[in-house]
Chain A
């Protein structure tokens, strides 16, 4: 790994009451990396939504499990990697709901899409899921091989 990368990795219980800790970590690191308060808030929300989906959908609301968040800070971007040990997610099945369809749920995907530049699942990850979310410090077109929309609801 390049020396220009700063990495923080935390493992956290799948208890929803700890989501605010994740948000705090993401916001702190994002501000350190040079993101504005507003962008840091948006990133914190995106990662919190993704983690919520890990808890709700991938781990089946089991609160005695664990997952990991790795935050990699590069000079031009931040990468957030969520790893869990749940059943494999089928990325093609994950779609945000249409906004005109006013009903509870289905907005998590949409918020993540709004707040990150790219997302992708590492299909080679052996046991569980490895989701990468990327946000550039300045606007940049996401790689065509990466897609947005990494959650269930």
Chain B
């Protein structure tokens, strides 16, 4: 898996490529939590290159969501392939995360989404 971080304006975009599993999810976790603690108020994960995600990857995203609540960061995902989307739906997390079709939509709409709404 490859994880690259891009900074644009007030956004941090994490480009994730490959399989996100027990081996690789710590890399995503490190970048995600680092980004959440950074100066930007919007963090997006580009999942268009994610070919597989397991429970450890989902746990990483949920941890990011929880931290976004504490750091008052708007957090979203975009570009999910059908398998990743299916896994989130199966876990009933598709309504918990802010999910966008692509980067453009994510950048346009992330500011207007209700922040932190997925968590009690």
Chain A positions within 8 Å of B, measured between CB atoms, are 15-17, 19-20, 23, 41, 45, 48-49, 52, 55-56, 99-100, 102-108, 110-111, 114, 153
Contact = CB atoms under 8 A, between A and B. Distances in A.
Contact of A20 (B21, B58, B66, B120): B21
A57 to B, nearest CB: 11
Contacts of A102: 62, 65, 93, 96, 118-120
A20 B20 CA distance: 10
Interface of B: 19, 21-23, 52, 54-56, 58-60, 62-63, 65-66, 83, 87, 90-93, 96, 118-120
Contact of A111 (B55, B66, B118, B120): B55
Nearest to A103: B62
Nearest to B65: A102
Q: In terms of DSSP, what is the predominant structure of the interface of chain A?
A: helix
B22 A52 contact: yes
List the 5 closest A-B pairs by CB distance, nearest first.
A16-B23, A104-B59, A107-B55, A108-B55, A16-B22
Given A17-B23, A19-B22, A52 B92 contact: no
Given A19-B23, A41-B83, A99-B91, A104 B66 contact: yes
Nearest to A105: B59
Contacts of B54: 45, 48-49, 52, 108, 111
Contact of A56 (B22, B66, B92): B22
25 contacts: A16-B22, A20-B19, A20-B23, A41-B83, A45-B52, A45-B54, A45-B87, A48-B21, A48-B54, A52-B21, A52-B22, A52-B55, A52-B56, A100-B92, A102-B62, A102-B93, A102-B118, A102-B119, A106-B59, A107-B55, A107-B58, A107-B59, A108-B56, A111-B54, A111-B90
B11 to A, nearest CB: 24
A28 to B, nearest CB: 15
Contacts of B90: 110-111, 114
A105 B55 contact: yes
Contacts of B19: 20
Contacts of A108: 54-56
B3 to A, nearest CB: 15
A82 to B, nearest CB: 15
